[in-house]
Chains A and B, each alone.
Chain A
Amino acid sequence: MIADHRFHALATLRLSLNVLAQPLQQVAEMPSQALARAADFFTTQGELLRENRDLRAELLEQSAAAQEATMLRAEEEHLLAMAPGHGRYADHGVVAEVLYTARNPFTRKIVVDKGLTQGIKAGMPVIDGTGVVGQVTSVGTFTSEVTLVTEKGQSVPVMLVRNGLRAIAVGSGKDGSIDIPFMPVSADVRQGDVFVTSGIDGTYPPGLMVAKVSSVEKNSAYAFARIVAHPLAAVDNYRFVLLLPLAPPPPRPETLEEEVRKPVKERPAHAPRRQGGGAAPR
């Protein structure tokens, strides 16, 4: 147990046992999936036509935004070629269907139907139509486990849309909420503010919606404000999610001495473009 919890050393054992348990799992899922498909089959034509119309309208709106995004991205790459640093965007992801919620009453995880055979790796960020859902934590042969953002200790580097304030959103582990800890009492955070990913860690692409603040408690008796937010993605009821690829690691320097002797400006970029704050290296 300690080997599994502290050192994550038993991944191979878990993977091989999972292969054993997988066929039984699939057999057990069949009734509920058959029920869901049957329910889908009996939708009325009116509902389908209406849904079709709404989806087409949404597609039209989004295609305009997508074309603009392509043009902006090309422009940004052109500009970035003139300065060090590289941004990362949600280029292409793998669509996965959510099979079931992991049967562990102590954690918040879901299981999706893509695994090693489809090239999924641990650490890949997972999003849905509205925002960040979580991160892939464990990969099996045909399925993977995704830890949700509301899980205790699961953190996402975020930024306030309104004023650019940077923070880390940490899942609280209870009742589907997210905490923003370590914000000073004087921080400019209001109820209803939306947090998006800041992209600073290089894992999550910047600009994805994460959470909306539902309550802010500023008590000067404590050092930090107590900010509680709720995730914007449909973290508890969804069927399809998108698994984004991991950012490639920065290129290895030839030798370490060479790397250290180069002036800072010429070193290859290790972090995405948006550094901001006081810690930016020249």
Chain B
Amino acid sequence: MKGPASAGLIFGSFLVAFLFEVLPWSGTWLLARPDLVLLLLVFWTLREPRAVGQGAAFAIGLLMDVSDSVLLGEHAFAYVVAVYGAQVLRVRILSFHLPEQSLHVLGLTMVASCVMLLLNLLLGADFPGFAYFASPVLTALLWAPAAWILDSAALRRRREAPP
């Protein structure tokens, strides 16, 4: 049994993901940008449901909205929906192996992307092309490596129980 994740690990992983997302992506690269922040939100919701939940998803989503200069609340809404899905399906997802878990995560990231796309279309933006759906697919593909790294024994050392 691995120990619970420390707060430092959770915060550090979100920091790295955020730094990855604020790199100067543009054009087609931007459409294909994997949403590591969403990936980590889903991961920590499954692993540490009491530490990360919909409140964290909303707050982090707002931060993403501001840094990406999109409509305020777009990422927040999408992340809350995805995290709700993760919470509801938590026991089911954890009963599968990593590849099947990736499929579930693909569903969650697709839902989040479609929510954001729908919001923007309703407010008058043009459809950015099907390359837009490269992002959720890539995010789901990164599930297995991310889960493997964050679950590795080095990061989740079981601390000695006090006598």
Instruction: Specify whether A and B are partners.
Output: yes
Chain A interfacial positions (CB closer than 8 Å to B)? 1, 3-5, 10, 13-14, 17-18, 20-21, 24-25, 27-29, 31-32, 99-107, 109, 111, 138, 145, 152-153, 173-174
Knowing that A31-B23, A105-B132, A173-B125 touch, tell me 17 more A-B residue pairs with CB under 8 angstroms: A13-B72, A14-B72, A18-B67, A24-B19, A24-B67, A27-B19, A28-B23, A100-B26, A101-B27, A103-B24, A103-B26, A103-B30, A103-B33, A105-B31, A105-B128, A145-B69, A173-B126
Say whether B72 contacts A28, CB under 8 Å. no
Chain A residues, Cβ within 8 Å of B77: 1
Chain A residues with CB under 8 Å of B30's CB are 101, 103, 105
Q: CA A3 – CA B63 in complex, angstroms?
A: 17
Query: Which B-chain residue is minimally distant from A103 (CB atoms)?
Result: B68
B contacts with A, residue count (CB < 8 A): 35
Does the CB pair B23–A32 fall under 8 Å? Answer: yes
Known: A18-B66, A28-B19, A32-B24. A4 touches B73 (CB 8 A): yes
Please report the C-alpha to C-alpha distance between residue A32 and residue B29 in the assembled complex, in whole angstroms. Answer: 15
Q: Which residues of B contact A109 (CB under 8 A)?
A: 69
By a beta-carbon cutoff of 8 Å, the part of chain B in contact with chain A is 15, 18-27, 30-31, 33, 62-63, 65-74, 77, 119-120, 123-126, 128, 132
Which residue of A10, A14, A106 contacts B126 across the interface (Cβ within 8 Å)?
A106
Which 7 A-B residue pairs are closest in the complex by CB-CB distance? A106-B125, A1-B73, A100-B24, A17-B66, A4-B72, A21-B67, A101-B26
- A3→B74 CA distance, assembly (Å): 12
Q: A4-B71, A17-B62, A24-B19 are in contact. Are A107 and B125 (CB under 8 A)?
A: yes
Which residues on A sit within 8 Å (CB–CB) of B73?
Answer: 1, 4
Q: Which residues of A contact B68 (CB under 8 A)?
A: 102-104
Q: Closest approach, in angstroms, between the C-beta of A217 and any C-beta of chain B?
A: 20
| B23–A104 touching, CB < 8 Å | no
What residues of A have a CB within 8 angstroms of the CB of B65 in the complex? 17
Cα–Cα, bound, A5→B27 (Å): 23
Which among A32, A106, A173 has the highest number of chain B CB atoms within 10 Å?
A106
Q: Could you say which residues of chain A place their CB within 8 Å of the CB of B19? A: 24, 27-28
In the complex formed, the residue of B with least CB distance to A19 is B66
- Residue ID in chain A nearest B66 by CB atoms: A17
Smallest CB–CB gap between A209 and chain B, Å? Answer: 25
Residue of B nearest to A173 (CB): B126
Shortest B143–chain A CB gap in Å is: 22
Considering the complex, give the chain B residue whose CB is closest to the CB of A26.
B22
Cβ–Cβ < 8 Å partners of B18 in chain A: 24
Closest Cβ of chain A to B105, distance in Å, is 21
A-B contact pairs, 10 of them (CB 8 A): A5-B123, A17-B62, A17-B65, A18-B67, A21-B63, A24-B15, A32-B24, A101-B30, A103-B68, A105-B31
Residues of B within 8 A of A27 (CB): 19
Given A105-B31, A174-B126, answer yes or no on A1-B74 (Cβ-Cβ < 8 Å).
Answer: yes
Interface centre among B24, B70, B124, B125, by most chain A C-beta atoms within 10 angstroms, is: B24
Rounded to whole Å, the gap between the CB of B113 and the closest CB of chain A is 11
Contact of B72 among A10, A102, A111, A152 (CB under 8 A): A10
